Chains A and B, each alone.
Chain A
Amino acid sequence: MPARELNMTRSSLAALSRRDLLQGAAASFVLVGGRLVADAASAQASAATPLNAWIAIAADGKVTLQCAHSEMGQGIYTTFAAIMADELEADWSTCDIVFSPVAPAYRHPVYNWQFTGNAESIRSYHGLIRKMAAAAREMLVMAAADQLNVPASELAARDGKVLHKASGRALDFAALAQAAAAKAPPAAPAVKPESEWRLVGHGRSLPRRDIPDKVHGSAAFGIDIKVPGMVHAAVMSTPALGGKAASVDEAPVRDMAGVIKVVPLGNVVAVVAEHYWQARLALAKLKIDWQGGETFDDAALEKSFRAAQQGKEGWALAENKGDAVKALADTRHVIEAEYSAPWVSHAPMEPMNATVAVTDTGVIVWAPTQGMQMTQIVVSKVLGVPPEKVTINRTYLGGGFGRRLLADFVAQAALCAKAVGRPVKLIWSREEDIKQDVYRPGFLNQVRAQLGNDGLPAAIHFKLVAPTILAPVSPTPIRPGMVDALCCEGLMENPYAIANRRVDYNMLGTPIPTMVLRTTGHGPNNFTVESFVDELAHAGKQDPHQYRRRLLGDNPVARKVLDRAAELARWGKAPRGRFQGIAFADCFGSYLSQVAELSIEGGAVKLHKIVTVCDPGRVLDRINATSMMEGGVVWGLSAALYSSLSFDKGHVRERNFDRFRVVTLPDTPELVTDFLENRPAIGGLGEVGPVCVPAAIGNALFAATGVRHRRYPFALDGVRTVYGKIFG
């Protein structure tokens, strides 16, 4: 059985030098029986010889590979390391994977910022980590050339050895590591051609390294961390957004078992206790005087969207090609519609939590985070210590979907730890997880198109009103009046050949905190574009698949994706009583087409099949890529059918899974998934799977009922499914 422990890098604060950081050298803790203990094997790994920031080789042959990213279900822990092992020509069975520290070496090569999101982990790091692994391989080969006294050109690395074919001699990486580390890194390491990939690509798949522990219940998520002397915190936030705790009457909890301290934190009040449930019991008894909260409701929100849509203020020009305004001035063949998307919560299965210890020499954080660098900076700011004194230990994430890019929950844990002078694990209840979410906002989109004589749009004009999703995670300020590029994704640079196109965007300010969520702007915008394109096809009495083929013009790579989806779905040949809808997207560097097939039974929707075809350029791990698509479809089904938030008295009404409905096992139809690999560059996968699902289902609903749904989830329009809510 593989080791059950999760290695967590935990740099020795006092001894940490910049060189150590760059090389990723770090001591480790492991969880054994739920306790965090110093780990002998990892200590050995830290004694391994680093060849660069990513790769270290120990005397026993163990290769330690640094995973710069967060594992939140997307399988990056395995695939990221496999890319390096492949390029290094390491023996995969000798490779250990650790979560890297927060350090400049691990930052996104373009954004210069360490985070996991936007389906960036492979597409933005693949070139970099192949180069780093190729450099390490060449250094090993140089060391072998010295030892064997032969030219490096006669040597080849394979399976953890450097081989001299002519003489049959071979040297293990372990025996070469120290001499290799002394070599100057090659300036231009030669990356292998794809034909020589041995661990990834070409339909291959590796068993995910994290899965056995996750199946046995031994994997360590943030919520599972235990450190010596640790106590627990529970929090309650303001009942109305914007409110603050003016005063807290602690008398009712003073004598309660286990209670250590009440910690008011402005919009949140925390109770720290010996055990978590003691903190929860005390929290419920506290008398808190909340002041100054918002009072808005759905009607007020709706009014502000309408006012922005109809007004002249706040608009920014996001895209303008040709002259859509002029083309649309002739209103004879204009079709227009208004589409909207709902407010939703991330609600990953593991609620936000973090564990923080404030020590004499620095601050140690254990957190399930997508925003490792953000976490370091936020904790540094709230505790007033330099960032280099804040060590971030990363755990597995019980889902992320964008929420864990922010570090507000870690800041609360840090302030509690400081207040009580002991390590604190802070856990949000599900209700707090939704109340303190930073939501994906509603989108309101007015779209107009001018149809040409060929039935295709000669001009299209989008007027989108949406609160920002980029601002909280943007390194540069994003303010009203500016274009939020993520909000406009999928409207801008749309793949369809339309000569005149214009996208106007109005960043609505609301009292509600907003941010990216899985699919970012592509999700809501694809619903608008692909439902509207369906309307245009039907207006011209054209087949929706063929219509999109024509719109893709001379883009054969995109057309192949659309055609393959139609082929796998047997487009146009659905069994009697079943109806199909198709949609297409160019998102996150990948092409996607999905076909939904459904029937109406007793007035309710029954889903039969979702076909997904994706072209991400290269599929590095086939089974895991399929997981991303299958799971993405389910995420898209929740979005399309059920999930939305409503507001009353200044806050969300839906605060748990009883009212924030998501898809469960019975709702899951047959999933058919295929990949093409024709795009020239590697694209993303994690965000992609859900993107076309709402439009594909909406288009199938139109085919079935003749009713065009211009908002989702379709439950808002009274669309029921045959899957009764089986609980609650």
Chain B
Amino acid sequence: MATFSFTLNGAPTTLDVDPSTPLLWALRDHLGLTGTKFGCGIAQCGACTVHVNGEAVRSCAYTIDSVAGAQVTTIEGLTRDGPHRLQEEWIKAQVPQCGYCQPGFIMAAAALLEAKPHPTPADIAASITNICRCGTYARISKAILAAAGG
């Protein structure tokens, strides 16, 4: 066990856990933020995507000791003032089916729009590599393009 301090959704946070604990389980199990989902544990599916210092990372393969001092943002803290424009477009396009993977997609898309405010479909295809078993991909692309255009 060791103590780790970082900023979580804008608030200073300190946690006493095993250094090998993935950020995902620290968030879900110790900090009660369950919007970040567990899907594969090997950084393949992206259901656990969060932002660390503004970059989209897969928190299942990101140990807590590597976020010491960092700014961590989860789906719960994506915006401070109402829904993100991606979330609004997601609802407009009725994107989710089971919905389990959707926070991960939205976090990946939000990081994309930060880096590239007007992505092309090819940019989206190159950067959104998460897995959705319900197959909502076409509507995800549509919602990202709408959010970028709006």
Contacts and interface: CB of A to CB of B under 8 A. Distances in A.
Interface of A: 33-35, 71-75, 207-208, 210-221, 223-224, 226, 232, 257, 275-278, 281, 347-351, 396-401, 427, 429-431, 623-624, 627, 630-635, 637, 656-658, 662-666, 668, 671, 726-728
Given A630-B139, A727-B129, A728-B44, A277 B21 contact: yes
Contact of B135 (A33, A224, A400, A630): A630
Interface of B: 1, 17-18, 20-22, 25, 28-30, 32-45, 47, 74-76, 83, 87, 90-91, 94-103, 106, 124-126, 128-141
12 contacts: A73-B97, A208-B94, A210-B99, A215-B91, A216-B83, A217-B35, A217-B76, A218-B35, A223-B37, A351-B39, A401-B133, A623-B94
Please name the 3 residue pairs, one residue from A and one from B, whose CB atoms are nearest each other, closest first. Answer: A217-B35, A634-B135, A214-B99
B47 A349 contact: yes
Contact of B98 (A72, A431, A726): A72
Task: Give the residue among A34, A75, A217 with the most B Cβ atoms within 10 A.
Answer: A217
Contacts of B135: 630-635, 637, 663, 668
A213 B125 CA distance: 26
A658 B141 contact: no
B134 A631 contact: yes
Contacts of A71: 98
Name which of B32, B96, B106, B134 has the most chain A CB atoms within 10 A of its CB: B134
A349 B1 contact: no
B98 A351 contact: no
Given A349-B131, A430-B41, 10 more contacts: A208-B94, A214-B100, A221-B100, A348-B133, A627-B94, A632-B135, A634-B135, A634-B136, A658-B44, A664-B129
A634 B137 contact: yes
Contacts of B103: 215, 217
Nearest to A668: B137
Contact of B140 (A223, A224, A624, A665): A665
B98 A73 contact: yes
Contacts of A350: 37, 39, 98, 100
A423 to B, nearest CB: 14
B39 A349 contact: yes
Contacts of A212: 91
Contacts of B138: 630, 668, 671
A277 B18 contact: yes
A671 B103 CA distance: 24
Contact of B100 (A232, A398, A430, A634): A398
Contacts of B124: 665
B18 A35 contact: no
B75 A398 contact: no
A212 B35 CA distance: 13
Contact of B25 (A276, A399, A656, A657): A276
